[in-house]
A and B are shown apart, each in its own frame.
Chain A
Amino acid sequence: MNMAAAIPVPVRLAQLPRMKPGTVSDVDWTHLSEPEARRLRELGLDEGVEIELLHRAGLFGGPVACRIGRMTVALRRHVAAAIHVSPSVG
């Protein structure tokens, strides 16, 4: 396996292409309010967890639906923008 290709550049979840799973590399917890951060952790978000963008609601900056682990979760865009994802290769 080519090592250069195996370390992709992390992108924000909001910009991740749909249906392309990746791994959470980093979360800007400071960009989230305390209750938001707590609920996000309760929904299983953590570094190293598999994540996938499933749906975007509408065109006007509506929420996104993503898969965190085996769970589907709805998030607002600004939360999705705080989650950095390393896209999986292949």
Chain B
Amino acid sequence: MNPAPLVALVGNPNAGKSALFNALTGARQKVGNYPGVTVERHSGRMVLPDGRPVELIDLPGTYSLDPSSPDEQVTRDVLFGKQAGERLPDAIVTVVDASNLDNHLRFTLQLIALGLPIVVALNMVDLAERDGLKLDPERLERELGVPVVPTVAVRRRGLDALKDRIADLARTAGKAQPNPAIQHDMIVLQRRARQIASAVTVSETAARRWTHRLDAIALHPVSGPILLLGLLFIMFQAVFAWSEAPIGWIEAGMAWLGGAVGDALPEGLLRSMLVDGVIGGVGAVIVFLPQILILFAFILVLEATGYMVRAAFLMDRLMAGVGLSGRAFIPLLSSFACAVPGIMATRTISDEKDRLTTILIAPMMTCSARLPVYTIIIGALIPDRAIGPGVGLQGVVLFALYILGIAGAFVAALVLRRTVTKGATSGFMMEMPKYQLPRLRDIGLGLWQRAEIFLKRAGTIILVTTIVLWALLSFPKPPEGSNISPVDYSVAGRIGNALETVVAPIGFNRDMALALIPAMAAREVAVAAIGTVYAIDNPDDAAGEASIRDNLQAHWSLPSALAFLMWFVFAPQCISTIAVTRRETNGWKWPAFMLGYLFAIAYISAGLTYWTAVALGLG
């Protein structure tokens, strides 16, 4: 059987391409990767009015067929049938923003010249009308010589007509080949595009667009930065405040599950593995799903509304000071949720050195996986007292850890840009899209994809790590009557004792050394590891967070705990980050460099913290 025809969605950035893709495919989407590059491949199935299935792919937005960043390269290569792992599309749907025709038509002209069957989706016609722009789609069809369908993707308008057109194109599928001799002269194309745009514009009233009114506040030299700081403050506040209730539900659910399994199974190895290892370990991680989703929800909304580019605009001066561009702000902000999507988001940065620097500093942004570690250690060892009206010491310490990561990243960028990633100053040139109300459906889809990735991770890497760690901590059992503790006698205990000699100078005890090893798989596991260590050493204690807290207070000194927190600010403790860095930079050189410099900073700063705290008599 022949595979379903492949239809590619192509267009300028901000043409509403992804919204159209979501509207056409619904939830039947797959997010994958193109081999060899980290550009995400979004594909989905769509059923035509005549019942035939079609595979739709959403190609990265680009301004022309001359690529200037890795994701734009993918778009070009797919359209020429040169992208590994992708067949040549049978037809193209090019998406143009109706209120930005003179610019978007230039790329459309280039695509038409390519010679593949094509239909133009004249998108966001409602916004164009709101801006006082009246267009003649039939005239556009005549001028371009290809079918044109007016659409409003977010309101699902024009989709049936578009599907009919795609069905027409799909009938001749597989016959056309791309014509390599396309027009590349931007000026010639641009002038023709402007000519067509003015020909199809029936009337244009100078309506002052509300995007301009919002920008008057959002980009204002005074109110702009205040608004940005306010939004960031609300975002981080929400991560903690809104997540309390759902975290409580998950904790209660896990406690119930642990209790039920504990009661149902006889005392023994299997029960220990399931309750101490699996439910304790994976549960300690899943608890952070609400915080991660809240953070991603904010980032998705900021992107969907068009505000993210404004934030990049406001941050550009500051970023330029350390040799980066405002564009780097977007991946760095995403890195607060997780460095992996953050590093992947750097692919929109065209300058190679700029991109590399951003990748190298991204792991210093406090990702959500550090939160469990911070929360539990701060909760156990930092006194819960107010140091001002409404300001608690614990909150200040947490805030300071975030700031330290950001400060460290800026200093690192400054140094890297003058040494290993030296190069010409990179530019900042970005289209600022119109403000738009985010569609709940699109945000929901994005969140669902994030949740799926996180739960898969919890179910695979974290599950395996916790079981392996439990096994290493449980075997071999000390001989009957021995006075060596079960943990000290186990394989993991012996590794921890060996590692302790390396980290003892910076104030780490054996349990901390032990927690560092599984934390390499995922930082969150450090919490579970500490919990498992104490659960196995004191099998009679009640399991759960309360017991971790009591044990931390009993076994950890304040200087050690502070040093441990400092370690987690900088240490590149995450295999996924290292793997994605290797893929992004095509080799082991940069991930190795990243590991080296971040571990060095982590070790030195943890040491300095410990020695200072001891000297101040905090221990």
Contact = CB atoms under 8 A, between A and B. Distances in A.
Given A35-B68, A59-B221, A72 B316 contact: no
A11 to B, nearest CB: 21
A46 B423 CA distance: 29
B102 A70 contact: yes
Interface in B430-478: 430-432, 434
Nearest to B351: A35
A33 B351 CA distance: 12
Interface size class of A (residues with CB under 8 A): 20 to 34
A65 B219 contact: yes
A36 B190 CA distance: 17
A33 B424 contact: yes
A43 B317 CA distance: 22
Interface in B31-70: 63-64, 66, 68
B165 to A, nearest CB: 26
A41 B212 contact: no
Residue from B106, B225, B431 having most chain A Cβ neighbours under 10 A: B431
Contact of A74 (B106, B309, B320, B350): B309
B307 interface: no
Contacts of A43: 63, 103, 429, 431
A76 B102 contact: no
Contacts, number: 110
B103 A44 contact: yes
A79 B112 CA distance: 32
A71 B103 CA distance: 8
A29 to B, nearest CB: 11
A68 to B, nearest CB: 8
Given A72-B211, A73-B431, A63 B100 contact: no
Given A39-B68, A70-B103, A79-B427, A57 B313 contact: yes
A7 B350 CA distance: 39
Given A54-B219, A56-B221, A65-B219, A71 B429 contact: no
A63 B317 contact: yes
Contacts of B351: 35
Nearest to B309: A74
Report the contact-size class of chain B (Cβ under 8 Å from the partner).
Answer: 35 or more
A79 to B, nearest CB: 7
A54 to B, nearest CB: 7
A59 B316 CA distance: 12
A74 B317 contact: no
A50 B190 CA distance: 14
Interface in A1-56: 33, 35-36, 38-44, 46, 49, 54-56
Nearest to B316: A63
Contact of B326 (A55, A56, A61, A63): A63
Interface in B542-575: none
B68 A38 contact: yes
A60 B317 contact: yes
Q: Chain B CB within 10 Å — which of A33, A38, A42, A73 has the most?
A: A42
B428 A76 contact: yes
A42 B434 CA distance: 18
A69 B215 CA distance: 17
Nearest to B14: A71
Interface string B204-245: 000000011001100111001100000000000000000000
Interface in B158-192: 186-187, 190-191
Nearest to B102: A69
B36 to A, nearest CB: 23
Nearest to A43: B431
B346 interface: no
A46 B68 contact: no
Nearest to A76: B428
Contact of B224 (A38, A57, A60): A57
6 contacts: A35-B350, A35-B427, A63-B313, A63-B316, A69-B102, A76-B320
Interface of A: 33, 35-36, 38-44, 46, 49, 54-63, 65, 69-76, 79
User: 5 tightest A-B contacts by CB?
Assistant: A62-B317, A42-B63, A55-B219, A72-B432, A41-B186
Given A33-B427, A55-B215, A56-B221, 13 more contacts: A38-B186, A43-B103, A46-B190, A54-B215, A58-B317, A63-B317, A63-B428, A70-B100, A70-B101, A70-B102, A72-B434, A75-B429, A79-B429
